[in-house]
Structures are given as structure tokens and as C-alpha cells.
Structure 1
Amino acid sequence: MLRCRARQRSNGGAAPSPAHLPRLAVNQRVATESAEIEAIARLAATIVKDGDTLILDTGTTTATLATQLVRRHGLHVITNNLMVLPLFADEEEIAVTVIGGE
């Protein structure tokens, strides 16, 4: 179990790995982690330049990053994050490719 990180070693036993604990719902994460999410999104937005192609995965941080990218020029955003689609719907300078799955 230690190899797959389902447990982490501790003195006197084992405990659930933090990566395997239940995650909060999206609205709960935004409410409790909004300052951290905003800070990460602002920093990440400084790396993105006009004309870049980027992949935004699902999640609250990438959705918040998307809000920082509105009004950019020549971006190509590839995403499966349905939260970002309305943000870019009216942006003529941003091409969006939505990837799907089963």
C-alpha cells in the first residue's frame, strides 16, 4: 500500500494519505480556498502571453485562471472544463477547443 501511496508511514502505524481523503465540493473549495486560488491564478496569468496555446484542465484554479485570460489576444484554449466556456463565449480573440470523453 505504501507503493501506491494509499497509506503513509507514521510512527506506530499507518494513516490515510492526504491524497486519498475525500475532496470538498467545488463550491466548498472556492469558499474555503478562494484567496489561495486567486493568488495562483493571478501568478499563472502572468506566464501566459498573447498568442499562446494552453490546456486548462478541470478545477476551480484553472477556472479562476480563465477569468484572468479574458480580453487576451490570439489565445487558443484547449479544455474539458465546462466552467470556462461561458467566459470565452463572446471573446473573438480567443479560440476554444473543447475536448470530450466518455
Structure 2
Amino acid sequence: MTFSANSLKILLATGLLLVGTAVAAQDSAGAGQEMYNKLCSGCHSATPAAMKGKPVDALVAGMERVKNLSNAAGAAARMQQTVQGLSPAQMKDIASYLNQMN
């Protein structure tokens, strides 16, 4: 099988993009682990079985739901207070960390 110069360039660019995406995801998960351990693990445990491996978007949506509750009480009120101070990027970092847990 032979490749043209353009095909090789496209293949190399695609590989570099995939590597860059993987590194960014690891950085995001690393920041998320630090925030999760500091802000969330006290209530959710260090290894929250119900959240491990879930899709990032679903985890962020759950945090957004709690953030926007109108009459939160008890544990939901405590979580709401915590997530109120988080930016969308920080919530995504925490979700990325949880998503990568096995």
C-alpha cells in the first residue's frame, strides 16, 4: 500500500490531534480529581460507584440540575451551595474525572 505526501500529512495531523485531545482530557481529569477530593468526596465518597464511568454530559447535567433547584434542602442544599461556586469548566473537569474512574 502506498500513501501520497498529502495522505501522510493528513494521517500525521489526525494522530497529533488525537494525542492532544487525550492529553487535554487527562489534564481536565487531573484538575477535576483535585476539586472532587476537596469539594465532593466528603459526601459522595472517594470512589462514588453511582457516578464512576458515566458520560461527562450526564454528570454535568446532574450538577446543573442541583445548581438550579428552587427549594433545595438537606444534602441537596449543601451540594447546591458547593456547585454554585463552580464554573462550567470546573464542573466539566469534575465530570471528566468521574468519567475516567473504573
Is the shorter-chain TM-score for this pair beyond 0.5, marking a shared fold?
no
Higher helix share: 2
Q: TM-score, normalised by structure 2?
A: 0.29
Higher strand share: 1
| Structure with bigger RCO (C-alpha 8 Å, 6+ apart) | 2
